[in-house]
Amino acid sequence: MGPTAGEFPEPVRQALRLADSYVFGTEPGRIPAVLHEAFEASTDDRVRARLGATLARCWAYAGAHTRAVPFADAALGHATATGDGVLLADALDAALATHWGPDELPARRELARQLDDVTAHLSDPEARTRAHLWLLTVALELLDLPAMNRQMRALELLGEESPRALFFAASRRLTLDLMRGRTDTAAELVAVADRASEQAGLADGWLVVASMRAYAAVHSGDPTTAAELARLAEDFAVAEGVRELYAEAAWMWLGAGDVGRAGALAATFDAGVLAALPRDFSYLPTLQLVLDVALHAGDTELIGRVEPLLAPYAGRPVVASGGVMFHGVTDDTLSRAADVRGDHAGAARLRADALATYARIGATWWREQLEASAPGLPVDGDPRMTLRPGAPGTWLVGHAGTTTPVPTRKGLAHLHALLSRPGDGIDALSLAGGAVVEDDLGPRADGTALAAYRRRLHELDDALDAADVSGDATGAEALVAERAALLAEVSAATGLGGRARHTGGTNERARVTVRKAIATAIDTITAADPVVGRHLATHVRTGFTCRYEPDHDHPATWEL
């Protein structure tokens, strides 16, 4: 629950050791009473600061926000009086825990900034871990990619000197990897977190490790493991009476392919339960997961109960407590709920916003899930879509025979070229105004080699886009080098004498320039016509090679 007791009196040390046994989210039993008794018995600012912060966290983690706030305030006052940076960091951590609701993000940003200032020159690894963990959590809530990377790296460096920091580093690294569509690191990160939890003696470490395994199983398509852990989560939720964990278990069952069991658990969130949910760290994740399950289960009554509660938080990323997991963005579930209600225009706007967010952060798995659920055309079924030059300085965009002028953007010409050649790949260098580059593979490449080449090239393009949006220049450089080496190897293997197809620097600049131009153009189109914007966001692919992939189930007729 908090830093070590140090040289405090024995009753205080006993109370703090008892608090270390608390499992996040469960009924705290006698722990608050023991802490409170020691708190009231002392007049020492140091003791009251430590006990007050621990008591505040205990109540906050148990969902009793109103009980937690006075002790967090008291801890902050006592810690300030001592002038002890470690105690002040502990008190600020407790204050953050009591301002963890969906409406308190500005307060969290400010408190996290203060915590960062306090710990900047502290050597205490626990205080520094808490600061970087909160800053990472806030960065996730803001989808601030550079800040995420910076705080993640800071946690990993701390992990070299502290098992507790290593546990948080491994578990949050998996959060970021799964957010960005990576599952290949899951097994190693789970093993590291499990060992670090045991070394640090974390009472609830096993629960986080189980969650890591469960979400990795859902993202990687492992229904057997997902079902095993969904059952564990459901049993724990029932035994401990943790209502919010019902939502996580339901979503795990959904990932395991058992929609019936997922829907039954989600349906326990009746109007009374939803009204009683505390506005704390669990509020947005609970609503997001329940709504997602209800949408898959076709439970229109539950959709109708949850959607109005989540709607005020449109545009928000959903992050489980302390950054344990990224649950997509609210625009994702809200767009699908709007379609159920028949508000297809509203659904299109929300879906386009969600897809743009997923593209920006490289959230491949989430983007693909939403794309798979997207209806192809407006409800009237008119297949006509328009993207063509208009009056000087404008283009016309629209659907079903209606058009809206938008200001000229370079990316609009790129999109026009792609739409003119549906299904064909066009090199980014060509779109950017360079020479057309011929295909290195040539007619002598066998089908297996060609298929493998294209698969890996697509993976590298996605990874490069993710590296771009995350500001990972080093990673991007490595990916470009791998791509160049792959091209050289394949060219040599197919008898082309190793002739280089691309000039790395030129092609890399073209890829980045074209991707940004197309993304800006799609944003411009979406603001004018969400239906067209959604369609393009779903079916246009960028990279070294760009293409428009038509929707074969609901083909559009383009007026160009």
User: pLDDT tens across 518-549, in order?
Assistant: 988 998 898 788 788 888 988 899 888 899 99
Q: Report angle CA 26, 32, 36 to the nearest 5 degrees.
A: 165
353-368 pLDDT, tens digit per residue, is: 898 898 888 898 898 8
Residue with tokens 């709607």: 311
Please report, to the nearest 10 degrees, the dihedral formed by the alpha carbons of residues 18, 24, 26, 28 taken in order. 30
- Tell me if residue 414 falls in helix, strand or coil: helix
d(CA 457, CA 461): 6
Q: Residues 337, 339, 340, 341: is their CA dihedral positive or negative?
A: positive
pLDDT of 498? 37
pLDDT of 493? 47
pLDDT of 442? 44
Q: What is the DSSP letter of 542?
A: -
pLDDT of 494? 47
pLDDT of 485? 60
Q: What is the pTM of this model?
A: 0.68
Residue numbers in the chain where pLDDT is lower than 70: 1-6, 374-381, 434-454, 457-458, 461, 465-478, 480-505
Answer for the pair 517, 414: CB distance below 8 angstroms, yes or no: yes
Q: Which residues on adjacent β-strands are paired with residue 227?
A: none
Q: Residues 418, 420, 422, 423: is their CA dihedral positive or negative?
A: negative
Q: What contacts 255, CB < 8 A, 6 or more positions away? A: 214, 217, 218, 223, 226, 230
Q: What contacts 221, CB < 8 A, 6 or more positions away? A: none
Residue with tokens 């743009």: 356
Question: Is 455 buried (19+), middle (13-18) or exposed (0-12) by CB count in 10 A?
Answer: exposed
Answer for the pair 264, 51: CB distance below 8 angstroms, yes or no: no
Length of the chain: 560
d(CA 210, CA 341): 36
Q: Which helix (H) or strand (E) holds 427?
A: strand 426-427
